[in-house]
Chain A
């Protein structure tokens, strides 16, 4: 369990990183927290020839309040987000989500930029980013561009990042005080990567009818990207009664479209000794994921509702 030979370069600035990526070409990879990349390298599932270590870019480790929300540097550790008072104040849903990522040892090293760039099915950050229509800032040889979450994720372990581009920042909108929210997931083991993850936000009209609701789900899209549920729009103007939720549950089951075949195409790779292995912890059936998507979504809305009502 040793990586294939590689050359290693530690950089201290974004421009150095980009120059390095450019110089070494497609065989080069950024290493941030290493919590996804190292295991794949050690198993020889991936064999980058050049590693560009961005841990020295201290200026990418920050959480800042902006005019309409939060800006989080790509190198910010999961643990920092988990413990940040600013995140708690401005975007508590993000904090709720990050607590579900792995175990604290991993959260101490893993970074938000790494998690988003890795785009593992079900990953918590991806789901929240998609739900809140966060923006991902990427810097490459041609300068900076801002990618909406909807465009950022393009497939299992694939993003819109171009070669020699890197994530530098993620921008989340603030959640208003009146917004209820929830993050839920099904895992087989505490801290494990989820089989299905769900994030929801909810705003109510004074008469308790739904003003606005959003739900995003992880690991249910056949394309391997975080998925934003369309059927929630039917809630607008309605009260969250049992019937309304039951109706929503049915609609979500019909809407989401997990494709185990596409998943397995994407997740089986060859590793050391030419042995076939799986890059994800779980593969589960479409039926199961549909059913759980609707159950978690309804639960998440209920929790969000109770939050608004001060029940939580």
Chain B
């Protein structure tokens, strides 16, 4: 590998930041086409009700209103929402605007198009809807009873049911010296991107072309889903995604986006819908909200003999068409074994639909569900055995020489070294010293705790059946003037790809990254491909860009060889030139600009490009993984994730035992994501992920009451962490390159969010050991903490 200052491995400052930091970015809402109408959506105030009648007369009469459309009227222009993903789940027939019945508070019921958003909202006030309320399904118990059916045609409320048993699980428990069982729950929360969803649709009745500008992670997929739902020719649809203010997985579908599309199609004018925060919290993508019962059998040396996991997820209204959330539960089932060696395994998954908002992706996508219960369980078992949480993990870690490791549940782990990660984390946090000091602090009435969680971040899912497949094309192009463009569908959602992808090409071509630009966000421009999800960038897109760049380099060397009269084998690319290896004379060298000019302009291709070489300076490569296994074996096992970053996260917290407030003092992270492209950006991803994890464990909660009303649908009551709640974060890297990607890179970006809730919960239990606190439901509100302190149910080392 060629190393340049700005190439692979350098903490290059992000090329995209100057425009973001100076307010010169352009987001969808910044764009206003002439003649644009603005939409406001009437949403259901009921969690579950039949729509008896909608009267839009008064709304239509309001000055400035151009159209009011109900779910029934929209049926002439579209079909049910297309399916984003379907892995042995039940797929409902549902529409972007509710038809006949509403199934969650916030579901769209009617849409107004007006001259501006103010008038549109005034008109929404004037729509009269008659509802016939139905019994409401809020909890898993409600769903299973069933208190009511969301989709009558199913006859039940189960969207997903799946089970596998691998190895002799009964024998494992029979032989076990210790058996532990716990039920561990997690709150519902979401990604809260700073920019909510925004969509401008512009249908031209003359050309019958539809241009959709929207804040999305995956323009190509949105294009397909719109074509399928609107039943329009896909080749007449163009999706543009300008700057996107965060995604975190929540912008990987086209459900709400269908509404502006259908309105523009009806009206033949551009329409804009800007989602407000209330709409985003009610109807954007939700995640987590599960209960997981784990049963673990250990031998006398605390080695795991068997693991049983029973996962029950509260999906909400749907996680297949509205959003792609439901299979996250299956990802959890594939990854409960995590960093540990498990000889016998059983997993059972149940996903039920309820009258809560849609279930989608959110930083973690089931890997977090696999992590939190298991990493909590490791600590709970250690407490009960009276041993160290370090020791129980160490005894069960997969050894560094066992990679590639075929996990019992199917995944193949590419590389890693958990023991070393643990060593580093403990050393950096000064674990043994902290544990000693902890006793002293307790005497002074200060309750400080240390908690850890091992992290496994499967990245780059190749999901069959749907828009989350396992391929990625990239085109690398040299311009006549000798600069480069990378064209890919991999959207910039803040993760730094405008810098990291050029770093790859810079390394291959030995040019400055300022001479390379990433071009993305327009389906008319880039090859059809996937967007950033499943931390797939450094697995798929980086590999595609790398291979495409190598192909183009070969071509450039062939042309240069022809022009210099040299064997391409003897040539090298140095600092924007092609030259005979090691020779610096002018005759033995040609600049890329000169070469580009020759091919395209002076004199042009004839005589410049050698026979047999395609007369252009661009190459496309579509990267697919060699290790993906789609066909389930007799146990239903597949291998969908190519790379697996790993880590050990340690949180140090202090709890105020009189008020129950938790303060996170610091996070120490030891981390491995294979070859690192840009350490600064990698650290940023980890820190951002930890902020998400802190939000989930301490603050964020999409809370519903018994009537299915969300009680905190705004940022005054739904609490995201601010800089003040995010602790100092110290990150240490090791690099175990992946054998499954050409550069050894591993996708990363969700890793911080996966283990940090368990690390914090474990630290809180550790801090409150003298009170015998067992952490139950999240988030860790001061009130809950105090309740647990009052209860003090755990006897350490004695049960």
Contact = CB atoms under 8 A, between A and B. Distances in A.
A192 B781 CA distance: 14
Interface in A252-281: 270-278, 280-281
A288 B786 contact: yes
Nearest to B279: A1
A274 B782 contact: no
17 contacts: A5-B118, A39-B716, A43-B714, A189-B699, A189-B724, A191-B724, A272-B121, A273-B43, A273-B44, A273-B45, A275-B105, A277-B714, A281-B716, A281-B719, A282-B717, A288-B783, A296-B659
Contact of A284 (B118, B712, B713, B783): B783
Given A274-B45, A284-B783, A192 B719 contact: yes
Contacts of B709: 275-276
B659 A186 contact: yes
A285 B783 contact: yes
Nearest to B43: A273
B725 interface: yes
Contacts, number: 101
Chain A contact-residue range equals 35 or more
Contact of A1 (B45, B277, B699): B277
Main secondary structure of the interface of A (DSSP, over half): loop
Contacts of B117: 2
Contacts of B106: 275
B122 interface: yes
A309 interface: no
B799 interface: no
Main secondary structure of the interface of B (DSSP, over half): loop
A126 B251 CA distance: 43
Contact of B125 (A4, A190, A278, A281): A4
A190 B783 contact: no
A300 interface: no
Nearest 6 pairs between A and B by C-beta?
A: A190-B724, A295-B658, A1-B276, A274-B45, A288-B783, A273-B43
A257 to B, nearest CB: 17
Contacts of A3: 118
Chain B contact-residue range equals 35 or more
* Most chain A CB inside 10 Å of its own CB: which residue of B44, B121, B282, B724: B121
Interface string A24-63: 0000000000000001000110000000000000000000
A280 B717 contact: yes
A275 B783 contact: no
A193 B715 CA distance: 12
Contact of A5 (B122, B278, B660, B781): B122
B117 to A, nearest CB: 5
Contact of A272 (B44, B124, B661): B124
A137 B225 CA distance: 62
Interface string B272-286: 000011100010000
B93 interface: no
Interface of B: 41-45, 105-106, 117-118, 121-122, 124-125, 276-278, 282, 658-661, 698-699, 709, 711-714, 716-717, 719, 721-722, 724-725, 781-783, 786-787
A9 B492 CA distance: 45
A291 interface: yes
Interface string A230-252: 00000000000000000000000
B198 to A, nearest CB: 13
B624 to A, nearest CB: 44
A277 to B, nearest CB: 6
Nearest to A295: B658
A207 B619 CA distance: 89
A189 B118 contact: no
A185 to B, nearest CB: 9
A130 B783 CA distance: 26
A281 to B, nearest CB: 5
Contact of A275 (B278, B712, B719): B278
B713 A277 contact: yes
